[in-house]
Amino acid sequence: DAGVIQSPRHEVTEMGQEVTLRCKPISGHNSLFWYRQTMMRGLELLIYFNNNVPIDDSGMPEDRFSAKMPNASFSTLKIQPSEPRDSAVYFCASSSRLLTEAFFGQGTRLTVV
Amino acid sequence: ELKVEQNPLFLSMQEGKNYTIYCNYSTTSDRLYWYRQDPGKSLESLFVLLSNGAVKQEGRLMASLDTKARLSTLHITAAVHDLSATYFCAVDTHYNTDKLIFGTGTRLQVFP
């Protein structure tokens, strides 16, 4: 398996633009997590899905952020409109109850100018 | 709200020395994970601890879990430069909502 795949790896956008980050979890994993990592706030859990259903989105910073998981092999995190303070590395991770640990993608480094 | 705290936040140590990183968490859980992150890279799983008293060892790293004290430790033996990285612990709150919450991270630098 290729592991968790995220795209794009890097994104530079202007303030006010819409940004969509994509994630393909490991096949067979039924939990998917979106994290944001910054120097100031560390690793923050934004939202997680179980069996494609959003279970807890209390970490989503505001209404500008939204996430979807239309099927077991794909998830998106959208920011609209983007702001400079959204600049961070966004990680997607997936896990299976059988395996227990979460495996991380390579991350998307987002820069909003 | 679950809180996961690590200490120290920064650790600079000489090669050959031993040290321990501590991870405290605030709610009941019997699943704890340790991850390693190199600069600019993703997170790599090191250890999975699934019960009270669990101990795992890999090379110069050994992790343990005390669920009664809500404490996990990551012990480094005879540190080498290749261990320089940031180490995170994470707690699975499956008793409640199945979240995976990470600690603040410990940035380790090993120098000659």
Is B105–A103 a contact, with Cβ atoms under 8 angstroms apart? no
Closest CA to A105 of A75, A64, A70: A75
Is A107–B48 a contact, with Cβ atoms under 8 angstroms apart? no
> Considering only CB atoms, which chain B residues are within 8 Å of A5?
none
B29 touches chain A (CB under 8 A): no
What are A24-48's pLDDT values in tens digits? 999 999 999 999 999 999 999 999 9
A72-to-A22, A31, B22, B92 alpha-carbon distances in Å: 13, 9, 36, 21
- Yes or no: say if B34 and B22 are a contact pair by the CB < 8 Å rule: no
Please name the amino acid found at residue B23: C
Q: How far is CA A24 from the centre of its chain?
A: 10
Is A95–B50 a contact, with Cβ atoms under 8 angstroms apart? no
Token pair belonging to B26: 């605030």
Distance between first and last Cα of chain A: 36
- What is the mean predicted confidence (pLDDT) over B3-22? 95
What are B58-90's pLDDT values in tens digits? 999 999 999 999 999 999 999 999 999 999 999
